[in-house]
Amino acid sequence: MSTDERRKALVDATLPLLREHGTDISTRQIAEAAGIAEGTIFRAYDSKDDLIAACLTEAVSSDRFAAQLDAARADSLRETVTRLLATLDRHHRDVKALLVAFHPNFLSARDAAGAGPASDGPSGADAAAQGACRRPDPAAIRRDRVTQVSALLAPFAAELATPTHVAASYLLALSSGYHHPMVAPQDIPDPALLTQLALRGLTREA
């Protein structure tokens, strides 16, 4: 197995552990999940923190998102949007869990307002993990997501009242809004209900 293949296998094995346990996982847990010897981890990454940083990078990567979108392809606009919103819900849950694990202040009201993280930050291993895991560029990620979702909607452009990139922005905002800590309801609505909202607004269908 090449170094790149070993790194990918480690990230794939570590991501589920991080979603479930946060950064409080051991290299032994990672090795067991990956089916390798513990020392093999350090032939791919210098430290656990470097592996954790790679996991966040992978979670928000364009390639991973594109692979997730493949499952949303369907023959009709309604089914495509329903599958898309279900995919986005899972994606947002995963990324939010990872960001909160690495940056506890990432979703705080102060940070969301652009004031930056609160002054009382973590220490020790958590601080080291956060230092190794640089915050992704939200603007760059958003541009990629709009482009990718727009391409997914392209076969149905004639059915849309707006250009596909505008529709993509709307759907992304609709989905991400349900995961914002200041406005999110307790339960995320069924994707079919959100599809109704996206395609027909708040009025009843005829």
Here the CATH number for the domain that contains residue 54 is 1.10.10.60
* Sign of the dihedral through C-alpha 6, 9, 11, 17: negative
Q: CA 146: distance to chain centroid?
A: 14
Same domain? For 162 and 67 the reply is yes
Same domain? For 117 and 159 the reply is yes
- pLDDT under 50: residue ranges of the chain: 105-133, 206
What's the number of domains the chain is made of? Answer: 2
Q: CA 182: distance to chain centroid?
A: 19
pLDDT of residue 201: 80
**What is the C-alpha separation between 205 and 192, in angstroms, rounded?**
13
Structural domain ending residue among the three candidates 26, 59, 92: 59
Same domain? For 28 and 128 the reply is no
Structural domain ending residue among the three candidates 59, 91, 107: 59
Same domain? For 84 and 167 the reply is yes
pLDDT of residue 121: 43
Q: Structural domain of residue 67, as residue ranges?
A: 61-206
pLDDT of residue 134: 55
**What is the C-alpha separation between 153 and 193, in angstroms, rounded?**
19
Report DSSP state, residue 103: -
Segment 41-45 long-range contacts (CB within 8 Å, at least 24 positions apart):
41/10, 43/3, 43/6, 44/3, 44/6, 44/7, 44/10, 45/7, 45/10
Q: What is the pLDDT of residues 18-73, one digit of tens each?
A: 878 877 889 999 999 999 999 999 999 999 888 988 888 888 888 889 988 998 99
pLDDT of residue 30: 94
Report DSSP state, residue 45: -
Burial of 126 (0-12, 13-18, 19+ CB in 10 A): middle
In the chain, the amino acid numbered 115 is: A
In the chain, the amino acid numbered 118 is: A
pLDDT of residue 104: 55
In the chain, the amino acid numbered 149 is: V
Task: Tell me the pTM.
Answer: 0.68
Asked if residues 169 and 148 have their Cβ atoms less than 8 Å apart, the reply is no
pLDDT of residue 172: 93
Residue with tokens 């594109």: 66
Q: How many CB atoms lie within 10 A of CB 1?
A: 11
Token reading at 171: 């759907």
